Structure 1
Amino acid sequence: MTKLKLIIDGGKATANPQFAQSLGPLGIMQNVLNDINKKTIDFKGIKIPVEVEVNKDKSYSITIGTPSVAELVKTELKAEKGAGYQKLEKIGNLAIQDVIKIAKMKRVGLLVNNFKGAVKTVLGTCNQMGVFVENREPKFISKEIDKGVYDEVILKEETEVTKEKRTELKDYLDNINKELKSKLQKVKELKEEKEKAKEAKPAEGAAPAAEAKPGAKPEAKKEEKKEVKKESKK
C-alpha cells in the first residue's frame, strides 16, 4: 500500500513530484486528482490536508482533513482571532450563505442528524466568537431556523452573497462597533484597575505588624515585680 500526504488548495489539487512519481506509473494519477478536487471544491481559497492510500490493485481511498469551525469562520472573515468580549466587540457580520458554506465544509465531521443541524452548529461557534449573522446575534438566527425562516436557502445550500448584501453587512457592523467602542473601553479600563488593585494588596498569609501598646513593656513590668519581691524578703 502506498500512502501520500498532501496540502492542497481546495478544489485545485495538482501533481507535485512526489505525487507524480508514486501514482504516475500506475496510470491513476489524474483520476485521483479529479476526485480530490471534487471532494474539496467547497474549500476554495483554503489550504486542506489530504491523505491518499493506494492499494496494489490500484484501488484508492481519499481522506480529507478539515480545519475547525472556528478556523473556517476566521478564514471567511479574514480575522486573526475571535472577540475578547463577545457582547461588546464584533469581529464580523456573516450572511446566512456564509454559514451554509462553512457547514458544507464541516458536515461530515460534525455529530449532527442533518444539514440544518450542521448550520446551527456553525451558528453556535459564531456566537462564541463575537460574530453577527444577518445583522443579529447568531442565537436568534438559530431560533428562526427552527421556525423554518431559512428553509429555502438551507435546502438549496446557497453559498453566494451579492456585493450589495456584503456592503450592507459591513456597514451595519461598522455602526454597531462604533456604538460599542466606548462601552468596551470602559470595561477594559475597569479590568486594568482591578488588576492593579490586586497587585497592590499584601501577599496572602503575611503577618501584620505588631502594634506597640501604651505604657511599660511587659518585660519591664516583670523585672519591676521581681525587684519588689526581693525587697520584701529583706
Structure 2
Amino acid sequence: MAETIEVLVAGGQVDPGPPLGPELGPTPVDVQAVVQDINDQTAAFDGTEVPVTIEYEEDGSFEIDVGVPPTAALVKDEAGFETGSGEPADEFVADLSIEQVKTIAEQKHPDLLAYELTEAAKEIVGTCVSLGVTIEGDDPREVAAQIDDGAYDDTLAAETA
C-alpha cells in the first residue's frame, strides 16, 4: 500500500535535512535518490518554494510529483523582490519584461485555466497588478489591454516543438 509525503522545498536546493529528511528517514526509500530526483525536477524553480508530493511503496520504490509555485512567488523570484507594494495602484516595486512574463506563464500554464499562452500571460499580468509590478515600464492594466489588442502576439506565441 502506497504512502504519501507532502512537503514544500526550495527548488533545486533540497538536501537530506529538514523538512524532507525527517519525513523520509523512517521510510524504506533511498533518501539520497529522492533528494537527487527532486533537485533534478525542481531545478527550473531554483530557490523558489515548490510543493512536492512523494508517494512510496514498502519495497522502497517511489514517485515524485512536483507542483508549481504560486504565481506571486514566481513573479517575486523573476523580478527579484521580497514583498509587493502596499499601494499597488500607485507605488511599484519592480518591473518585468514581456519575455519574463512569458517565462512565468510557461511555467505556470499547466496549473492555469487558460488554454492559450496569451491568456496565461494575462493571468500573470493580473498578479502583477496586485503586487505593484510594472511590465516594460507600463501599468500592468495597460499591458493586459495591449495583449488583448495583439501587441505581444509575436512574443507570446507558443513555442512549437
Q: TM-score, normalised by structure 2?
A: 0.72
Q: Which residue of 2 aligns with 1:11?
A: 12
The partner residue of 1:81 within 84, 89, 97 is 84
Equivalent residue, structure 2, for 1:198: none
Of stretches 104-113 and 121-130 in structure 1, the one that deviates more from structure 2 is: 104-113
Q: 1:151 to 1:12 in 2, by over 3 A?
A: farther
**Structure number having the greater strand percentage:** 2
Q: CA deviation at 1:123?
A: 0.5
Q: Which has the higher contact order (CA 8 A, sep 6+)?
A: 2
SS in 1 for 2:134: strand
Q: Within 1, Cα distance between the matches of 2:119 and 2:39?
A: 26
Q: Which amino acid aligns with 2:104?
A: I
Q: For the structure 1 residues 151 and 8, does the alpha-carbon distance in structure 2 shift closer, same or farther, using more than 3 Å as the test?
A: same
- Alpha-carbon separation, structure 1, partners of 2:98 and 2:114: 19
- Decide whether aligned partners of structure 1 residues 155 and 53 sit closer, same or farther in structure 2, where only a CA change above 3 A counts: same
**Separation of aligned partners in 2, 1:71 and 1:120:** 16
Query: How many residues align structurally?
Result: 152
Q: Displacement of 1:56 after TM fit?
A: 4.1
Alignment of 1:182-201 (within 5 A): none
Offset of 1:145 from its aligned partner?
Answer: 3.3
Instruction: Please tell me whether residue 149 in structure 1 is matched to residue 142 in structure 2.
Output: no
Q: Distance in 1 between matches of 2:6 and 2:108?
A: 20
Query: Given the alignment of the two structures, is residue 41 of structure 1 paired with residue 43 of structure 2, yes or no?
Result: yes
Rounded to whole Å, the distance in 1 between the matches of 2:70 and 2:96 is 17
- Gaps of at least 5 residues in structure 1 are 157-234
Higher helix share: 1
Q: Determine the C-alpha separation between the residues in 2 that align with 1:80 and 1:140.
A: 22
- Cα distance in 1 for residues equivalent to 2:117 and 2:37: 23
Cα distance, 1:57–1:100 mapped onto 2, change above 3 Å: farther
Structure 2 letter corresponding to 1:77: G
| Partner AA of 1:14 in structure 2 | D
Residue 195 of structure 1 is matched in structure 2 by none
Distance 1:106 1:153 in 2: 14
Give SS of 1:7's match: strand
The amino acid across from 2:14 in the alignment is: A
Shift of 1:89: 1.5
The Cα of 1:93 is off from its aligned counterpart by 1.0
- Cα 1:119/1:42, change in 2 over 3 Å: farther
Give the superposed CA RMSD. 3.0
Amino acid at match of 1:151: D
What amino acid is the match of 1:131?
V
Letter in 2 for 1:123: V
Matches within 5 A, 1:33-72: 33-56=35-58, 59-72=61-74
Structure 2 vs 1, CA of residues 82 and 39 (structure 1 numbering), >3 Å: closer, same or farther? Answer: farther
Among all aligned residue pairs of Structure 1 and Structure 2, give the percentage whose two residues are the same amino acid.
28
Classify 1:51/1:125 alpha carbon distance in 2 versus 1 (closer, same or farther; 3 Å).
same
How far apart, in 1, do the equivalents of 2:119 and 2:6 lie? 31
Report SS of the residue matched to 1:107.
helix
* Counterpart position of 1:108: 110
Larger Rg: 1
- 2:4 alignment partner AA: K
Kindly state the Cα deviation for residue 92 of structure 1 after the two structures are TM-superposed.
Answer: 1.4
